[in-house]
């Protein structure tokens, strides 16, 4: 039976976004971040594996690419968080919707986020994770919008600083769509 063609999930010509960071630029930056992380954690002793902890769902594509550039023993886990408010106005109220599958006590945790916007989500998450007594905890975020900061957040590994625009692609969504764009775009005004 002939396979029917799959319609593309997005169309560069007609969909309402403008490319901000190309797929090639993302690939280069992710490789750089992976190399830095590898070098920084290289001194860990035997049995001191890194837990790479992805924040669902936005970090999934970034995390999948990043871990293939980290040349160290590591395990993966995920945490789901919901930030109340609409897509563009964060209320600062954050809730865990899906917890880790394993304890992180005495583990070296690298949290992987898609974007630090107001900073409320990451601030809450880092405080929550710290109470679980990891050996260390660091943050890697693909994007940072400093103009929107309401909380001071230290980002150990940052992909790109971006202007105050709502962005989609490479894991980031608007109303759950466009996570599968291979580049990062901002939503154009109609
Ligand atoms: P916060 O404002 O730093 O707490 O960010 C909360 C969450 O809002 C992020 O983890 C993203 O999932 C989402 N978010 C913030 N800015 C954008 C954006 O420009 N595009 C898509 N999602 C965003």
Q: Name the band, by pLDDT with cuts 50, 70 and 90, for residue 6.
A: very low
- 6 Cβ neighbours under 8 A, 6+ residues apart: none
With both helix axes pointing from N to C terminus, report the angle between 60-67 and 23-40 in degrees, rounded to the nearest 10: 60
pLDDT in tens, 97-136: 999 999 999 999 999 999 999 999 999 999 999 999 999 9
156 is catalytic: no
CA distance 83 to 90: 7
> Does the beta carbon of 65 sit less than 6 angstroms from any atom of ligand 1?
no
pLDDT exceeds cutoff 70 at 93? yes
pLDDT band at 86 (very low <50, low <70, confident <90, very high): low
* Segments making up each domain of the chain, as ranges: 49-179
Instruction: List pLDDT tens digits, range 130-160.
Output: 999 999 999 999 999 999 899 999 999 999 9
- Decide: 141 and 158 in contact? Cβ < 8 Å: yes
> Which atom of ligand 1 is the closest one to the Cα of 153?
3
Query: Among 65, 86, 99, 117, which one carries the catalytic annotation?
Result: 117
pLDDT in tens, 12-27: 777 778 899 999 999 9
Higher pLDDT: 87 or 173? It is: 173
Ligand 1 and 80: CB distance under 6 A: no
3-state DSSP: the chain helix, strand, coil percent, rounded to 5? Answer: 20, 35, 45
Average pLDDT over residues 46-50: 83
Tokens of 44: 């860990």
- The pLDDT > 70 percentage for the chain reads 89
Q: What is the pTM of this model?
A: 0.91
**Mean pLDDT (the chain, rounded):** 90
User: Using CA atoms in the order 130, 132, 137, 139, what is the torsion angle rounded to 10 degrees?
Assistant: -70
Residue 7 has pLDDT above 50, yes or no: no
pLDDT band at 83; cut points 50, 70, 90? confident
Q: What is the pLDDT of residue 188?
A: 77
pLDDT bracket for residue 88 (50, 70, 90): low
Cα–Cα distance for residue pair 47/15, rounded to 1 Å = 48
Distance, CA 161 to ligand 1 centroid (Å)?
Answer: 14
CATH class of 49-179: alpha beta
**What's the average model confidence in pLDDT over 166-190?**
89
The residue ranges of DSSP E strands in 24-161, in sequence order, are 50-56, 74-85, 90-98, 108-116, 136-144, 157-161
């Amino acid at each position: 039976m002939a396979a029917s063609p799959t319609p593309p999930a997005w169309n560069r010509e007609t969909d309402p976004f403008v490319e901000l960071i190309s797929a090639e630029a993302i690939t280069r930056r992710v490789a750089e971040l992976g190399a830095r992380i590898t070098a920084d954690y290289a001194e860990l002793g035997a049995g001191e594996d890194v837990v790479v902890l992805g924040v669902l769902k936005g970090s999934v594509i970034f995390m999948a690419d990043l871990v293939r550039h980290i040349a160290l023993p590591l395990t993966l886990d995920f945490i789901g968080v919901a930030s109340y408010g609409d897509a563009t106005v964060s209320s600062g109220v954050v809730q865990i919707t899906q917890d880790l599958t394993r304890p992180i006590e005495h583990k070296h945790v690298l949290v992987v986020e898609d974007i630090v916007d107001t900073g409320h989500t990451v601030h809450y998450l880092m405080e929550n994770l710290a109470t679980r007594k990891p050996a260390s905890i660091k943050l890697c975020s693909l994007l940072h919008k400093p103009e929107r900061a309401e909380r001071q957040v230290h980002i150990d590994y940052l992909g790109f600083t971006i202007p105050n625009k709502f962005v989609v692609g490479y894991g980031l969504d608007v109303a759950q769509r466009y996570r599968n764009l291979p580049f990062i775009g901002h939503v154009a005004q109609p």
